[in-house]
Structure 1
Amino acid sequence: MKTAFNLDQHPRRGPQPLSAPPAGYFERLPTRIMAQVAAPAVRPLLPAWLRLAPAYVRTGLASTVLLGTLAASLWLGGGPLSRPATPANSLDAVPAEQLVDYLTNGETHVDMLDLAELPTHRLGLTRRYLQPSDSEMTEALDAQPHDEAGLL
């Protein structure tokens, strides 16, 4: 069994002897702290003529610079805004062999939902080799698994 702890039974230590601070330490302390905290000299960002200009002149100049930058970037960039690439255009550029290899490899998972999202107004590459008759299309659609409970 453990004995009860009583603080009065333990002797107390006396105050620790401290060394005296160096001579003049407390007199020099405020100036040392202020030297470390003092803010560096602020260099103005704007030229003097622009600082003295009225607010409407500065606002007009800033608006002109921003609109000029936007116009220059649109004029010099030019390419993507002139004719955006559509999926049909980009698929027509792919060689047929590469497209067939991509669709037939084991890592590509194409399901009926992916094929349903293809644009029908422009067939492009697929017009050459996908020409099913009505009976083939009906057989292919009937062979697809479906949940009759979902049709109710």
Structure 2
Amino acid sequence: MNTPFHLDDHKRRSQPLAPPPERYFEQLPMRVMARVQPDAAPGLAGSWGWLQQLSAPVRTALASAVVLGGFAASFFLNQPSSTPIPRYSVASLAAVPQAEMVQYLLASEQRVTLTDLAEVASPALATPDAYLQASPAELQDALDAQPSDETYF
């Protein structure tokens, strides 16, 4: 248990402490700086000593260039490859006759649902080199022929 402490219970000194020497506080920063000289680390002088020779703005510019270079390198190394991925599964599935596919689906115990068919990727359709020039009447006929769902209206 701590005993209570009251400042008024303790007597003050009758004489103040001795004053500091003449011009002590003016000389103090120079004395401290003289004692604290930057010592070169033994391992740092050989390999990274040239870095300490550079001025502060040059070191800052060098550090920012290294960070930017690392970011750019990681960005370019994580880009997807420019070669197209071949669609072997679509090409091999297209080569299977439809009669064999139906026979396989009917013979298996698992039934194929509409959601399974909706998730199958369709083969890439050949797009024309140039867009077709259609008249407004032809476009309206094509849009009218599309099935519409009433829930969206």
Is the TM-score greater than 0.5?
no
**Which structure's relative contact order is higher, taking Cα pairs within 8 Å and 6+ residues apart?**
1
